């Protein structure tokens, strides 16, 4: 039988030396998502589409409105990291009511979650990454709590300069250490002289996906909506966190058994898309976005039982401010709703 992930990582580090934070996070999350459905009260965390059908419905209407104003081109619904498929089901139902029916393409690496998605979306097409998405139609791309799960590289300020942050191992205890010095030229302007111990994060994996999708939108038409918790970087800060059974945990413990995430740098994602020629919108706070799309009217129609769910999605002290929506459109597509 294959050894468990912590033993395999410990062995690899003992043999070949410390691995980068990005390698550690990639290995841990690949195992984590492949081996379970982490969503819901009995799992580790709850996401917006699992809180209320209103979330996916409003996103479906957002897509249908934009598609209508873009001249009703042929297009595909694409979702990155669709979890249980709940958002897709709610969005597709709302889109169909608005006259938009499309093929469904899901980018998902976890076999366990693919199986869960197939129950709800039996006609979907699955992809390991964005490279295999259709090339001959506009793409309507949704990513909710996807980018936060992608690996980040961390750089840590030492006394003389910046170091790659690495993960070392003693017995089976993993711990972050400062690795090789990196040139100051890769540090964003203004952050170079931060105090010792300061940490900067970048996500080359996220930037690569963003560039690839933006390029597709420019060539094929379409739009993308990414919703996540995040900030406008570059900034100093260690946002790597682990969640297990709805509680924060040490991210360097038990790799593969807890969800590792970081806050998403929307400014960097937006800049990556702009370089390819796509038009960026926002980010705006999730509460502002959902309110502009009419969540209050939808909640009123569904009745008083959904008021608490509405508050959870929109209230500033719940998900309303921390979570943000960033949109991209093809340059010749109209302005999307919800972005002032
Ligand atoms: N969007 C869903 C699930 C969020 S959890 C929701 O809001 O409920 C993160 C999702 O991204 C999971 O489906 C996970 O399997 C998937 N995922 C994580 N890393 C991935 C990667 N590198 N490529 C594709 N999917 C990935």
Express each pLDDT in 239-267 by its tens digit.
999 999 999 999 999 999 999 999 999 99
Strands 279-285 and 323-329 come out as: antiparallel
Which ligand 1 atom is at minimum distance from the Cα of 50? 8
The Cα 63–Cα 227 span in angstroms is: 14
The Cα 297–Cα 122 span in angstroms is: 31
Q: What pLDDT is attached to residue 189?
A: 87
Q: Which two tokens stand for residue 255?
A: 């790799």
Residue 194 CA to ligand 1 centre (angstroms): 33
Written as one string, the DSSP assignment of 13-24 is HHHH--EEHHHH
The Cα 85–Cα 39 span in angstroms is: 11
Which ligand 1 atom is at minimum distance from the Cα of 148? 9
Residue 300 CA to ligand 1 centre (angstroms): 31
Residue 208 CA to ligand 1 centre (angstroms): 16
**pLDDT tops 90 at residue 53:** yes
**pLDDT tops 80 at residue 172:** no
130-146: average pLDDT: 98
Ligand 1 contacts (CB < 6 A) are 29, 33, 39, 47, 49-50, 81-83, 87, 107-110, 113, 144-146, 149-150
**pLDDT tops 80 at residue 129:** yes
179-227 residue pLDDT tens: 999 999 999 988 999 999 999 999 999 999 999 999 999 999 999 999 9
Q: What is the pTM of this model?
A: 0.97
Q: Ligand 1: which of 33, 78, 131, 205 to mutate, judged by most atoms within 8 Å of the beta carbon?
A: 33
Length of the chain: 340
Identify the band that residue 3 occupies on the pLDDT scale cut at 50, 70 and 90: confident
């Amino acid at each position: 039988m294959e050894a468990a992930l912590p033993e395999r990582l410990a062995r690899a580090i003992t043999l070949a030396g410390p691995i980068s934070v990005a390698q550690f996070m990639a290995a841990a999350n690949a195992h984590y998502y492949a081996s379970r459905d982490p969503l819901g009260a009995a799992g580790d965390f709850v996401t917006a589409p699992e809180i209320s059908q209103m979330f996916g419905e409003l996103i479906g209407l957002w897509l249908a409105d934009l598609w209508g104003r873009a001249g009703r081109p042929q297009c595909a619904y694409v979702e990155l990291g669709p979890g249980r498929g709940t958002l897709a089901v709610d969005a597709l139902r709302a889109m169909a009511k608005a006259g938009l029916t499309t093929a469904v393409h899901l980018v998902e690496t976890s076999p366990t979650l693919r199986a869960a998605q197939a129950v709800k979306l039996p006609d979907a097409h699955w992809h390991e990454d964005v490279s295999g998405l259709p090339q001959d139609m506009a793409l309507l791309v949704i990513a909710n709590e996807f980018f936060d799960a992608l690996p980040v590289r961390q750089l840590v300020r030492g006394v003389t300069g910046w170091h790659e942050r690495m993960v070392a191992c003693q017995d089976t205890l993993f711990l972050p250490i400062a690795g090789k010095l990196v040139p100051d030229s890769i540090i964003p302007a203004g952050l170079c002289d931060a105090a010792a111990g300061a940490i900067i994060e970048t996500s080359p994996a996220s930037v690569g996906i963003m560039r690839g999708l933006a390029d597709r939108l420019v060539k094929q038409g379409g739009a993308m909506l990414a919703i996540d918790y995040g900030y406008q970087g570059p900034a100093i800060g260690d946002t790597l966190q682990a969640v297990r059974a709805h509680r924060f945990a040490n991210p360097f413990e038990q790799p593969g058994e807890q969800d590792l995430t970081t806050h998403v740098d929307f400014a960097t994602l937006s800049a990556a898309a702009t370089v390819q020629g796509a038009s960026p919108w926002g980010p705006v706070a999730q509460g502002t976005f959902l309110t502009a799309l009419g969540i209050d009217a939808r909640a009123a129609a569904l009745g008083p039982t959904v008021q608490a769910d509405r508050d959870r999605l929109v209230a500033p002290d719940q998900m309303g401010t921390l979570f943000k929506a960033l949109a991209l459109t093809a340059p010749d597509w109209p302005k999307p709703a919800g972005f002032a």
